[in-house]
């Protein structure tokens, strides 16, 4: 069993700016995982956006706190706490925080083929 806290030294050491918007931390990634690409926590401050981008794997964005506007390819929807968004491999996607508080997102990604 592996247990990681998002505030542990090991996870904090992976902090980076994701797609010019969210501060992200890799909780688990390919250094540990066998069949999943990664599990990350992203925090998007008010009025910030994760710019549109395409990844070579499918992802799930699980909104934990806050509200925002999620775009996947040509569809845009409002998202909030406990909404899960499936992003197919190769889809253009972006997320904008539309609230006055942080938008906290758990991101799960499949492995890159």
pLDDT attached to residue 20: 85
Q: What is the mean pLDDT of residues 85-113?
A: 94
Q: What is the pLDDT of residue 25?
A: 93
Q: How far apart are CA 95 and CA 60, in angstroms?
A: 12
Q: Output the CATH code of domain 9-109.
A: 2.60.120.10
pTM to 2 decimal places: 0.88
* DSSP state at residue 15: -
Q: Give SS3 for 12.
A: helix
CB atoms within 10 A of CB 14: 14
Strands, DSSP E only, in the chain?
A: 16-18, 22-28, 38-44, 49-54, 59-65, 68-72, 75-79, 84-87, 92-97, 103-109
pLDDT confidence bin for 113, thresholds 50/70/90: low
The residues spanned by each domain of the chain are 9-109
Count the alpha carbons within 13 Å of 25 in the hemisphere toward its beta carbon. Answer: 14
């Amino acid at each position: 069993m592996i247990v990681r806290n998002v505030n542990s030294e090991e996870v904090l050491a992976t902090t980076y700016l994701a797609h010019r918007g969210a501060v992200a931390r890799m909780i688990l990634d390919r250094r540990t995982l066998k069949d999943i690409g990664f599990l990350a926590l992203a925090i998007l401050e008010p009025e910030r956006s994760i710019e549109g981008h395409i990844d070579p794997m499918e992802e799930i964005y699980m909104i934990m706190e806050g509200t925002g506007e999620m775009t996947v390819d040509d569809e845009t929807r409002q998202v909030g706490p406990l909404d899960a968004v499936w992003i197919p491999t190769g889809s253009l996607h972006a997320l904008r925080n539309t609230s006055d508080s942080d938008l906290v997102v758990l991101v799960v990604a499949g492995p890159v083929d």
